[in-house]
Every structure is written in structure tokens, then in C-alpha cells.
Structure 1
Amino acid sequence: MHIPDGYLSPATVVLTYAVAVPLWITGFKRLRRELNEETLPLIGALAALSFIIMMFNIPIPGGTSGHAVGAALIAILFSPWVAFVAVSLVLLIQALLFGDGGISTFAANALSMAFVGSFVGYYVFTWLKNRSYAPFAAGWSALVASSVLTAFLLGIQPIFWHQGAQPLYFPFSLRVTFPALVLPHMLFFGVAEGIFTALVYRYLHQKELGEKAA
């Protein structure tokens, strides 16, 4: 689901950075309030876990790939702002060191996977908090929402940026990007993200209850 360099027009790149930079500033301010001796190790461990699961890219029909992200898990354990910053840093490291995603598209990837994923997952979990399936629903909806924004950003490229009938950047329209990206994330990757979120959340929740009982 990472968008590589060269897939988005310069105008889209500028717009995504213009949106992302103020959000990063706000996110870092919120993160500073959350960090202490108790929260820092867990946030670091969850960010590392997010890094690992995002490295497992699985090819899917339509010429793209999918993977879990872990944004919803961090969001429901801490806050969506903490998750946004943590996953953004993971995406930056992946782009710089592994070429997974691009530098020009870093803001777009952060907005889809880190920002949208974190906030959608958090609010779905909050809405369903008294339901046993709330963590699963949070993980599933977060990843599907991320895929929707990614499909939208890619799909509008040939609509607005073309020379005659020739697309200048990403060549496939919304009619292609939505089925190719969103459907696999609804049917497979979102389910995997939901299961991952539910399992880790319940493990940490039970561990916390055990420590309190002791």
C-alpha cells in the first residue's frame, strides 16, 4: 500500500505535505505529553512491531500489494496522535533505508496509513468499546480506510494530470484503483489487521489486569 516516488503529481505531493506538516507538528506536541518512563518502552516496542509487519508485503491481483500496519493498535492503547507520529516515523525509516514508499510520497503514505488509519481505528474502537469485537473492528476499519485514501490519491492522477490521452503519472483511474486496492483490504488484509489488533490488545489488557491483581 506504500505509494512509490513518481506516482503522484508535484501538485499532489505539495498538497499532501501542506496537510501533513501541521498535523505532524500537532502530533509531536501530543506525543511529548504521553512520553514517560512507563509509556516510552511500550510505544517503542509497538512502533517496532508496526515496522516488522509492514515489511511483509504480499502481492495481490491488480499489480499492487498489501500488508498490515498496526496503527489502530497504538491508537487505542495510547491515542491517535501518538499512533500517527509513531507510524509516520516507521514509514520514514522504510522510505529512507529500504525504498519502501518514496520521499516525495512520504506525506501521502503517512496521511493514509498513519493519520487516517489511526483516527478511524481509534474512533471505531471508542464507538464499540463495550463490544468484544471492538479491537477487531478497529483494526479492520483502519486498514480499509487507509486503502480508500490510497486508492483515491492514485486514481485521481490520470483525471487531472495528463497530456492528451496520455497520463503523466499514475495511469489507472478510480475505476481500477478502488477494486484493486480496497476490495483485497476489505476481504483479506483488513481481516488480518483486525485479528492482529485484537490478539495483541487482549494480551496486553490481560497482562495489565494480572499486574494489578498481583
Structure 2
Amino acid sequence: MHIPDNYLSPSTCVVFAAAMVPVWYYSIKKIKEELPADKVPFIGVGAAFSFLMMMFNLPIPGGTTAHAVGGTLIALLLGPYSACMAISVALLIQAVVFGDGGILSFGANCFNMAFVLPFTGFYAVQLIKKVVPSALGQKIAILLGSYAGINLAAFMAAVEFGIQPLLFTDSAGKALYCPYPLSVAIPAMLIAHLLVAGVAEAIFTLAIYEFILKVSPGIVYNNEKVKLNPIITLIIILIAASPLGLLASGTAWGEWGADEIAADGSLGKALGYIPDKIANGFSYSAVFPDYTVSGISDVFGYILSAVIGVALLIIIFKILGSRHEGHKTA
């Protein structure tokens, strides 16, 4: 679901970046108003869970991959506004440091995964809990809400892909950016997420939420003590297990490089050309491209990338939490 650069036109990217500005502004405002200063660093913990979940690539029939995101999980723990900022920062680090998702398409990726996903998941859970007000109902609500959130996000990404060949073509009628129309993009994205990624999102969300509620309910309930050791242990386990994401071969649908897209058969046959802007558009070299580290094996590179990503997220939100606490005291 990480849209690379040059798959969306610059104008499309600007529209979604502009749409996210008031969302980010209001999210920061709500966090300052509603979240206790001592809980702001826990946004970094939530962002770390999301970052790690996105590293676990899952095989999709047809040779592509997909992943969970964890947006509803963070929203349930800390609120949807915290989830929005947590995933936005995680996506920024993925794009800048690891080349996962585009720089220009950052706003669109945030719109899908940091806005649509957590808010849809969170409010779907609240609605279902009202309809089925029981312990079992809460579990069902979490499963269905998180499943709905990631699938609506995937649908939005598919629409963003699918409108490109309608709007932007060269004089010969060939697509300049993403070449897949809505009739191809929507089924491709939704099948992967309805059948695989959505199920993983639902299971991960329920399992981790129930675990945190059991070992450290203070993250959810203000009158309970926060116990970080079990959560840190779980993060370390996920980091150690992150190379499992390497087992799924193939590139996620819609994330092919210029060297791959000409041979893709999503249209029923090989595309046969490289869209001009994908071949000759904006280029950015990440520090650790695709979670690899020069000079070491892919497995250890993946683990090191996981450590770097998690550390950056926790440090960033720890600093922001300190600043927030300082403003509260002043």
C-alpha cells in the first residue's frame, strides 16, 4: 500500500498533501488537549508496532505481497489522533530512511494509512461495541473494525492509482504515471487485502491489544500503572522475527520499480512499456533501501533496519513528549 514516487502525478500528490495538513494540525491540537503529557512518548511505542507490522510482508496469490499496518491498534490504545501522527511519522521514516513509499506521494500514503485506516477502524469498533455490548462483542468489534479500516485504506489507494491513466497520458495514449485503470487497480488491491492483509490486520490488532490490556492496562486506562517491560519484550521479539517478512517473494502490487513494471501482467498481458514519468521522474536514494544494509546479509540488514526504525520513532516521540510536558508545566 506504500505508493512509490512517480505512480501519482505531482498534482495528485499536492492535493493529498494539502488534505493532510489540516488533519495533522487538528491531530496535534487534540493530542495536546486530550492526551496526558506522560503518555505522548507511548505514541512512539504505537508507531514502533506499526513500523514492525509493515515489515512483515505476506504472500499474495499471483506473486505479490501485502502487509498489516496496525492503525486501528494504535487508535484503540491512544486515540485516532495519536494513531494518525504515529503512522505519519512511521511512514516518513520508511520513505526517507528506507525508501519504502515515495517522498512526493507521502501525503497520499498518509491519507490512506494514517487517516482513513485508523479513523475508520476506531469508529467502526465503537459502533459495533454499541450493537454487541459484551466482552465477546468487543473482540468481534476489534476484528471487524480493523479489517474494515485497512480495506477502506486499500480501496482509496486503488482509486488513486486508477484515476491516473484516465487523467494523464502522452500523445500516443500511453499512461504517464500508474498505467492501471480502476477496473484493474481496485480488484488487485482489494483481493490482496480482503483475503490476506485484512485478516492479518484483524488478528494482529486483537492479539496485541489484548496482550497490552493484560500486561499494561495503564496505556489505555489513566488510573492504572504503565508497565513497559512486557511491551518492550514484545517489540524485541517482533524485531528478531522481522526477517520472516523476507520469506514472501515478489513486490507488493503497485510498488514495482521501473525495471519491473514493463513485464507486469496485471492487464492480462505484459504492459510492454515503462510509463514515461516512472522511467524518468523524481528519484531519491534512501540510506538503507528496502531495509538492506551494505556489507551484511539481508537477514541481519532487516533486523538492523527494524532496530533503527523503532529507535528513531521512540526517540522522536520521547522528545515531543518532553516538549509537551514542558509546555504544560509552563
Report the TM-score when normalising by structure 2: 0.61
- Quote the Cα distance in structure 2 between the aligned partners of 1:144 and 1:46: 20
- Quote the Cα distance in structure 2 between the aligned partners of 1:194 and 1:92: 24
Structure 1, unmatched stretches of 5+, are none
Which stretch of the first structure deviates more once superposed, 20-29 or 166-175?
20-29
Higher relative contact order (CA 8 A, sep 6+): 2
Aligned to 1:66: 66
Aligned to 2:147: 140
Alignment of 1:1-150 (within 5 A): 1-33=1-33, 34-37=35-38, 39-58=39-58, 60-61=60-61, 64-129=64-129, 130=133, 131=137, 132-150=139-157
Deviation at 1:55, TM superposition (A): 1.9
Deviation at 1:41, TM superposition (A): 4.0
- Quote the Cα distance in structure 1 between the aligned partners of 2:62 and 2:179: 13
Residues paired across the two proteins, number: 211
Instruction: Please tell me whether the aligned partners of residues 162 and 180 of structure 2 are also in contact (alpha carbons under 8 angstroms).
Output: yes
Structure 2, unmatched stretches of 5+, are 225-330
Secondary structure at the residue paired with 1:103? Answer: coil
Percent sequence identity over matched residues?
Answer: 43
Deviation at 1:137, TM superposition (A): 1.1
Secondary structure at the residue paired with 2:37? Answer: coil
Matched to 2:149, the amino acid is A
- Quote the Cα distance in structure 2 between the aligned partners of 1:57 and 1:99: 16
Deviation at 1:59, TM superposition (A): 5.0
Aligned to 1:169: 177
- Quote the Cα distance in structure 2 between the aligned partners of 1:64 and 1:157: 21
Matched to 2:37, the amino acid is N
Secondary structure at the residue paired with 1:128? Answer: helix
Instruction: Please tell me whether the aligned partners of residues 74 and 83 of structure 2 are also in contact (alpha carbons under 8 angstroms).
Output: yes
- Quote the Cα distance in structure 2 between the aligned partners of 1:30 and 1:192: 30
RMSD: 1.9
- Quote the Cα distance in structure 1 between the aligned partners of 2:65 and 2:156: 15
Cα-to-partner distance string for 1:90-121 (whole Å, 9 max, x where unaligned):
00000000000011000000000110001100
Work out which of the two has the higher radius of gyration on C-alpha atoms and give 1 or 2: 2
Secondary structure at the residue paired with 1:14? Answer: helix
Aligned to 2:214: 206
Instruction: Please tell me whether the aligned partners of residues 120 and 149 of structure 2 are also in contact (alpha carbons under 8 angstroms).
Output: yes
Cα-to-partner distance string for 1:142-168 (whole Å, 9 max, x where unaligned):
111110000010011001111242111
Instruction: Please tell me whether the aligned partners of residues 135 and 194 of structure 1 are also in contact (alpha carbons under 8 angstroms).
Output: yes
Deviation at 1:195, TM superposition (A): 0.5
